Amino acid sequence: MLGLGVIGQHVVDALKALGYPVSTWTRTPRNIDGVTAFSGAESFDEFLSHTRILINVLPLTDQTQGILNARTFSKLLPDAYLINMARGGHLIDDDLIQALEQKKLVGALLDVFTVEPLPSEHPFWHHEAIQITPHISGMTIIPETVRQLSEKINALENGEAVSGLVRRDLGY
């Protein structure tokens, strides 16, 4: 798992509940029971060397732009598979096609793209090892969303702290 924000934590919890071994890579250290955690640039290659299914949920920042590239794919375990459900800007499209053709990856599931909607002439549509979903990895549950918005508005009106604020210095 690349990234461990709210979405990443949900995915990790689901995978752990299903009995899968889970490793994570994050910008800063995290400690989660039953998860092998890697953090920082210095541990990225080691994380990749233990990874067969790479799931990306990173925020798109200057540091993560293009992180899903030929170098990253070359460090994964044999028969690796990519799932990108974060942002299209993480992926170098041509590097993915090349990694699939060279059998460095056996497949990819892509929910996000650099250009959306994905143009009809894009090679991803016709590649037998690529599965495409229409940017639906995170469903909005209307009652939950309304409840959260209401609570945040009330907290702001009462001068209380609000969760989920963007840290502009980090880009997410």
- pLDDT digit string, tens, across residues 33-78: 999 999 999 999 999 999 999 999 999 999 999 999 999 999 999 9
Cβ neighbors of 100 (< 8 A, separation 6 or more) are 106, 107, 108, 127, 129, 130
CA distance 133 to 139: 13
Residues 22 and 97 in one domain: yes
Query: What is residue 76's predicted lDDT score, i.e. its pLDDT?
Result: 98
Domain of residue 153, residue span: 140-172
Give the mean model confidence (pLDDT) for residues 86-101.
98
pLDDT band for position 163 (50/70/90)? confident
Tokens found for residue 141: 């549950």
Residues 171 and 90 in one domain: no
Residues 121 and 131 in one domain: yes
pLDDT cut 70: percent of the chain above it: 100
pLDDT band for position 85 (50/70/90)? very high
User: Looking up tokens 């990749």, which residue turns up?
Assistant: 48
- Residue 1 is assigned to a structural domain of this protein: no
Residues 144 and 120 in one domain: no
pLDDT cut 90: percent of the chain above it: 86
Q: How many domains does the chain have?
A: 2
Residues 151 and 95 in one domain: no
CA distance 72 to 168: 27
Residues 106 and 155 in one domain: no
pLDDT band for position 135 (50/70/90)? confident
Mean pLDDT of the chain: 94
Active-site residues: which are they? 87, 135
Residues 149 and 167 in one domain: yes
Query: What is residue 132's predicted lDDT score, i.e. its pLDDT?
Result: 96
pLDDT at 142 over 80: yes
Residues 103 and 127 in one domain: yes
Amino acid at 167: R
Query: What is residue 65's predicted lDDT score, i.e. its pLDDT?
Result: 97
Max Cα–Cα distance, the chain, nearest Å: 58
